[in-house]
Structure 1
Amino acid sequence: MNEKISEYQERLNKLEELKKQGIDPYPAKSKKTHRVTDIFAEFAKLEAAQSELIIAGRLRSKREHGNLTFSNLDDGSATIQIAISKKEVGPDSYKLFSKLIDLGDFVEVVGKLFITHKGEQSLMVKEFRLLSKTLRPLPDKWRGLQDEEERLRKRYLDILSNEEVKEMLKKKALFWQSMRAFLVSKGFLEVETPVLENTTGGADARPFITHHNALDIDVYLRISMGELWQKRLMVAGLEKTFEIGRQFRNEGMDAEHLQDYTQMEFYWSYANYEDGMLLVEELYKYVAEKTFGTLKFSIGKFEVDLGKKWERYDYRETVKKYTGIDIQDASLEKIEDKLKELKINYDKEGFNITRAIDNLWKYCRKQIGGPGFLVGVPVEVSPLAKRDEANPKITQRFQPIIAGSELGNGYSELNDPIDQAERFMEQTKLREAGDVEAQMNDYDFVEALEYGMPPTCGFGLSERLFAFLMNKSMRECQTFPLMRPKNQPTDKAKKNNDTKTAVAIINRGAKLKLWEELNTVAHLNAAFGARIGRQLFHQDTIATEDGEDIRLNIQHAILIKEAKASKDISELIREAKENGLEIAEFTREMLLTTDDKKVVEWTKQKKKKDIEYLGVLVFGKKSVADKLTEKFELHK
């Protein structure tokens, strides 16, 4: 650490010396005339002309040989050797370059081309100018950044020292450029749709929520590339549209999923899912060839050839093949048993038959190398797709399957407004039952459909396709992946560090019978749990060795203490409120009847000082709760 600090300070000293000599270490503009890659392309012609060239870039090496120094200058397009001679630039300038210019500094050089006696194409410097003084040393050119987290956190240094990463970013740009060019060549119009929405739509996903200050409303960041908006454009009479942009899903992070990423979606009037499959297969082959120069890829455990015949995988038959479950006849209990047998983890919150089938399919798809299309997808998991005319239990939906993953999603769009409204209602019921990924009811979109939308095929893919073809994680393929700020704990860690506790206080002076005390404590805990909710749990269940689930209790301690009189509890309630603790209260009226209307009426007839408190529960930061309740004895 001391060595790094000293090197940093040494560069600061050089910066001050440059300023003393009247040299601006950060000028606003360069006068460069050529890129290094263009120089190499026309080297013979430019060398023969012996005209002066001006190039600029970062110094990547310095090798001093008495009165001659060789350096490598990298301008981002290529690296060229430059030679600085004391005779050519003069003793003062040569000394400045030798003593005050460091590796990593950006410089502009003027000179003529020549070839060294070793045959290396180089530029002899006549004069140079500092463009930017670096204060920190660059990572080792050959070893780069070794720590994985540091590499992603300081991606600019990773790109600078790792040519493979730089080439990956260039390929990614070409990936989207070629896709855009393909769609435009097919007559599609590129459009823009809202990023902030009143209602999310177009996917089963948990959205990010933010607040719009000017309108004073909460809005959602889009979870699809304007699916419902582009369909409105079909209603408006546009025949072919597409959009490429960022979308956001507040969900898990793994090798195949991120929270913000680039997506493309197109919509094509007067076409169906069969037309869509033909176009998508052509699109994938075109983009792969343009971006990677090949149609053959090694992806995980699979060898994939996009150029061969694309298969069709029926949803029901594929699940039955790999699991033995017929999804049209199986109950939720039977599917859940199979998920446990296959040791498939799933989210039990909002769990239903739709989620169960989807989890089963996700297991099956990992066995398929592809390329091919998943078809015959059930209506339950496709709320926006048109039913199949021959079998109304399935939809005209298709998904490209490559290397065990779904790398796109498309279907014949549902354009029946009545059917769409009914499916939205089913999705609403799922949301009300706790399924946070179920789609929201968009009444405005249904109204748009009522004006008529032609038969339409829609399709979307994300940058996951690029990551798979690169055989890398999505995170690795993002230029600047989102990371938690350094040394900042997670919310869970914060909660663990900020221990909380609950303390129930019983009014001993009320001379309650045992059943009345138990009733008081039970009501206090029930009211407390209802108000605080699921955040009290570390997790929902724990499993026994033989796979049976046991509901987990709350992660916070609950103490039971006793007060001498109602006034002591009343005083504690006041102090607890002042200190921001959660409270639950139980009065004599609440014990006498279970009719809340009577409790309300009786309480209205009394002043606060006349209320007889039988108990109170306070919950919050342990240090505060303990301080306020330390005067009370443990209940015996």
Structure 2
Amino acid sequence: MSDNVSDTTDQQQAKAQASEPQTSEQILVRREKLETMRGQGEAYRNTWRTDHSTAEIHSRFGGVDPEVLAELGHEVRVAGRMMAHRVMGKSSFIKIQDGSGQIQLFVNRDAVGGAEVYNPTKKWDLGDILGATGTLFITKTGELSVKVSHIEMVSKCLRPLPEKWHGLSDIETRYRQRYVDLMVTPESRETFRTRSKVVSLLRQGLETRDFIEVETPMLQSQPGGAAARPFTTHHNALDMELFLRIAPELYLKRLLVGGFERVFEINRNFRNEGLDATHNPEFTMVEFYQAYADFNDAMDTTEGLIRGIADGLGIAAVEWEGVQIDLSQPFRRIRLDESVFEKRPDLRGHANDKALLATVCLQEIPDFRPLITWKAGHYLVALFEELVEGKLDQPTFITHYPVDVSPLARRNNDEPTVTDRFELFVAGREMANGFSELNDPDDQRGRFVAQAQAKAAGDLEAVGVDEDYLRALEFGMPPAAGVGIGVDRLVMMLTGQHSIRDVLLFPHMRPE
């Protein structure tokens, strides 16, 4: 951990310790109120039911003339968390927040049953969850409100909310206590509503294209489908080692063998890797596979899905990582080697010259440390990652990856050293990976063996030989193309978020 990180953590801990006595005192006071409630009956009853959400009320009645609204005398039953409370003698104004928004309650002593009912409400705390019945009206300031005839405590809040005007400014606390973040940060709530819409639109886009949704194992006896280090666990009853999946790919392609010609899965993958702005050990991907298609078809589908999601959200362009991204224009397509040659024209024609590429890598890449098993393709990809990847601002498909780094992709018919594979980059970040699938069982075995050798040589991300998958290929898999899209990164782009933690409800954190 860097000194800066350590200093920041120490400062946060000191700040938290300084606020603990005040927080503890407030909790004590709130608990005393709870004990009074317990003495009067059940404190956490489950009897309140609503008939309107705040969003529905604003949608239906927000533009109604005050006099017309008064004549309607429309009664509503609402509930929500108290976010503001202003007491003015015999009357109070309370702002409550439910899952869809906020609305104001006007509470008058006489209207709710006298001082015996009204006075206790003046001692309620911000964060308490209330239920209220009343009629809709417009206040003198023009705010749609509920004139309360009945109000009650639904659930007592024992911890104080963050300060009204500062919100939850501590980033670490926002991630650790997402429930508080969602209470007080409207932007966070909107981000996760958008995430839900993105997943829904993604599913609709695939179903419209006649893909069927399936589920494949999370626990696998042989990890595969990607180059990544897996999480390992143990099944006691079977006394066997199992792995959390790093990708569903090999199981989805087994389904192609079985006759399901268009399949997809939206679900979690797990990779035992570091945490940074774009990586979390548990993340969401969509993978889809189509028989009788190649990587060009897969790029078309990927571009169409992303543009369809953007259209569904009403987004034509978005600013992400300081880049104005135009999603309405066709995505650029360029070969990986050509993208490197644009930066280093002297390498043109030398894409398979391992010695030369290794020398250039040592010149161009700080602290370069290749593995002993690397081939020419590994060095070419390393140059791409150093010279090109971070500068791909607008949506760009990088195609024709070397065979050396693509163990599951089909070789190109005309160039056996490259594959019919692509990756999609936006604002310098990988968004999708896809290719024409390798369905030659003998070629696949050879590449699995090469991966196993790399694993034995110390490559922790290399996979072994999956004999059952090879057996499936021997039954014959139709020519096909497949794609994996990072859902979290897609949401990051569409909501303009910098960190993957801002689009994960509960990101992984170090223990407190």
| Amino acid in structure 1 at the alignment position of 2:502 | E
Cα distance in 1 for partners of 2:394, 2:103 equals: 45
Note if 1:287 corresponds to 2:309: yes
Kindly tell me: are residues 49 and 301 of structure 1, through their superposed partners in 2, closer, same or farther at Cα, counting changes over 3 Å? closer
Note if 1:477 corresponds to 2:503: yes
Task: Quote the offset at 1:303 in angstroms.
Answer: 2.6
Q: 317, 320, 331: which one pairs with 1:296?
A: 317
Task: Quote the offset at 1:212 in angstroms.
Answer: 1.1
Aligned to 1:270: 292
| Amino acid in structure 2 at the alignment position of 1:148 | I
Aligned to 1:233: 255
TM-align CA RMSD: 1.8
| Amino acid in structure 1 at the alignment position of 2:306 | Y
Task: Quote the offset at 1:237 in angstroms.
Answer: 0.7
Cα distance in 2 for partners of 1:370, 1:3 equals: 50
Cα distance in 2 for partners of 1:347, 1:69 equals: 68
Report the secondary structure of 1:159's partner residue: helix
Note if 1:322 corresponds to 2:343: yes
Aligned to 2:156: 133
Note if 1:110 corresponds to 2:130: no
Cα distance in 1 for partners of 2:117, 2:108 equals: 10
Kindly tell me: are residues 445 and 46 of structure 1, through their superposed partners in 2, closer, same or farther at Cα, counting changes over 3 Å? farther
Kindly tell me: are residues 147 and 65 of structure 1, through their superposed partners in 2, closer, same or farther at Cα, counting changes over 3 Å? same
Report the secondary structure of 1:280's partner residue: helix
Task: Quote the offset at 1:371 in angstroms.
Answer: 1.9
Cα distance in 2 for partners of 1:87, 1:163 equals: 34
Cα distance in 2 for partners of 1:391, 1:290 equals: 39
String of CA shifts for 1:140-184, please: whole Å, max 9, x gaps.
233112222122111211121111111000111111100000000
Cα distance in 2 for partners of 1:350, 1:141 equals: 57
Residues 350, 435 of structure 1: 8 Å contact kept: no
Q: 356, 362, 365: which one pairs with 2:389?
A: 365
Cα distance in 2 for partners of 1:346, 1:8 equals: 54
Residues 116, 122 of structure 1: 8 Å contact kept: yes
Q: Which moved more, 1:317-326 or 1:403-412?
A: 317-326
Cα distance in 2 for partners of 1:29, 1:339 equals: 68
Task: Quote the offset at 1:340 in angstroms.
Answer: 3.8
Task: Quote the offset at 1:116 in angstroms.
Answer: 1.5
String of CA shifts for 1:356-378, please: whole Å, max 9, x gaps.
33322212211222322111211
Note if 1:339 corresponds to 2:361: yes
| Amino acid in structure 2 at the alignment position of 1:87 | D
Kindly tell me: are residues 297 and 267 of structure 1, through their superposed partners in 2, closer, same or farther at Cα, counting changes over 3 Å? same
String of CA shifts for 1:484-511, please: whole Å, max 9, x gaps.
111xxxxxxxxxxxxxxxxxxxxxxxxx
Cα distance in 1 for partners of 2:423, 2:132 equals: 54
Cα distance in 2 for partners of 1:13, 1:299 equals: 48
What's the TM-score, normalizing by structure 2? Answer: 0.90
Note if 1:420 corresponds to 2:444: yes
Note if 1:50 corresponds to 2:68: no
Cα distance in 2 for partners of 1:96, 1:228 equals: 62
Residues 339, 345 of structure 1: 8 Å contact kept: no
Cα distance in 1 for partners of 2:206, 2:473 equals: 25
Q: Which moved more, 1:110-119 or 1:381-390?
A: 110-119
String of CA shifts for 1:554-579, please: whole Å, max 9, x gaps.
xxxxxxxxxxxxxxxxxxxxxxxxxx
Select the structure of larger CA radius of gyration: 1
Report the secondary structure of 2:111's partner residue: helix
Task: Quote the offset at 1:38 in angstroms.
Answer: 1.2
Q: Which moved more, 1:417-426 or 1:369-378?
A: 369-378
Residues 136, 145 of structure 2: 8 Å contact kept: yes
| Amino acid in structure 2 at the alignment position of 1:468 | M
Percent of aligned pairs with the same amino acid:
37
Aligned to 1:13: 32
String of CA shifts for 1:202-240, please: whole Å, max 9, x gaps.
11111111111121111111111x111111111111110
The structure whose RCO (Cα within 8 Å, separation 6+) is larger is 2
Residues 362, 368 of structure 2: 8 Å contact kept: no
1:180-259 alignment, distance < 5 Å: 180-224=203-247, 226-259=248-281
Kindly tell me: are residues 340 and 156 of structure 1, through their superposed partners in 2, closer, same or farther at Cα, counting changes over 3 Å? farther
Listed as ranges, the gaps of 5+ residues in structure 2 are 1-19
Task: Quote the offset at 1:72 in angstroms.
Answer: 0.5
Aligned to 2:187: 164
Task: Quote the offset at 1:46 in angstroms.
Answer: 6.6
Task: Quote the offset at 1:347 in angstroms.
Answer: 5.4
Task: Quote the offset at 1:315 in angstroms.
Answer: 1.1
Cα distance in 1 for partners of 2:200, 2:509 equals: 27
Q: 445, 453, 471: which one pairs with 2:477?
A: 453
Kindly tell me: are residues 222 and 485 of structure 1, through their superposed partners in 2, closer, same or farther at Cα, counting changes over 3 Å? same
Cα distance in 2 for partners of 1:195, 1:162 equals: 33
Residues 378, 404 of structure 2: 8 Å contact kept: no
Number of matched pairs: 481
Cα distance in 2 for partners of 1:31, 1:369 equals: 50
Cα distance in 1 for partners of 2:69, 2:463 equals: 63
Cα distance in 1 for partners of 2:97, 2:502 equals: 24
Listed as ranges, the gaps of 5+ residues in structure 1 are 487-636
Task: Quote the offset at 1:186 in angstroms.
Answer: 0.6
Kindly tell me: are residues 414 and 192 of structure 1, through their superposed partners in 2, closer, same or farther at Cα, counting changes over 3 Å? same
Task: Quote the offset at 1:328 in angstroms.
Answer: 2.6
Task: Quote the offset at 1:255 in angstroms.
Answer: 1.3
Cα distance in 2 for partners of 1:420, 1:46 equals: 71
| Amino acid in structure 1 at the alignment position of 2:374 | N
What's the TM-score, normalizing by structure 1? Answer: 0.73
Cα distance in 1 for partners of 2:154, 2:74 equals: 23
